Amino acid sequence: MNVVLVDAGGTNIGSVRYALQRLGVDACLTSDADEIRSADKVILPGVGAAGPGMARLRELQLIDVIRSLSQPVLGVCLGMQLLCEHSEEGDTPCLGVIPAKVHRFEEAPGQCVPHMGWNRLSAVAAHPLLKQMNEGDWAYFVHSYAVPLGTYTLVSTDYGKGFSSVIGHRNFHGMQFHPERSASVGATLLKNFLEL
């Protein structure tokens, strides 16, 4: 299976690549448009801010490439947010392949921003990506911005109010948490993505 990691400058690329190696897949790290187009599966990892993330994709001339993909695509953490239409972070237009807008968490008593640490997953839609995920499984999050609940939501998580922790629309999917740091549930969901 030909799996590529889009080299968009995210600092979690190494850990995502290692998580895939544990599943028996040696993913190629690339910013080459032809390699991305010809891959069986494409993963867009990312840690950082929406503005610089989109600027990097623009610099690499990958925005239209990613938008045109028809194979399964997975955005991880910031990569998931970049798949959406717009992010409040820096008032940034994003890739627009998932019909959602990204909002900053509201600070509240007992609710720190960023949302950091382990939190529970709750499936809201049946999808092959969620095979063998159990209700209430825990995943590891680090983020200040989130995708609200919508028709694209596959899994929700509560932090003051519900937000989308896994999304899906056509061939595009996203995981807000870090599957590479989320123990067995992260490995299960990555494996499911590879089997889509």
Catalytic positions are: 77, 178, 180
Burial group, residue 122, by CB count within 10 angstroms (0-12, 13-18, 19+): middle
Give 92's contacts (C-beta < 8 A, 6+ positions apart).
50, 51, 54, 86
CA distance 150 to 12: 27
Type and span of the H or E element at 163: strand 161-169
Nearest to 12 by CA among 97, 100, 96, 74: 74
- The size of the chain, in residues, is 196
CA distance 97 to 110: 34
Half-sphere exposure of 70 (CA within 13 A, CB side): 1
- Bridging pattern class, strands 138-143 and 115-120: antiparallel
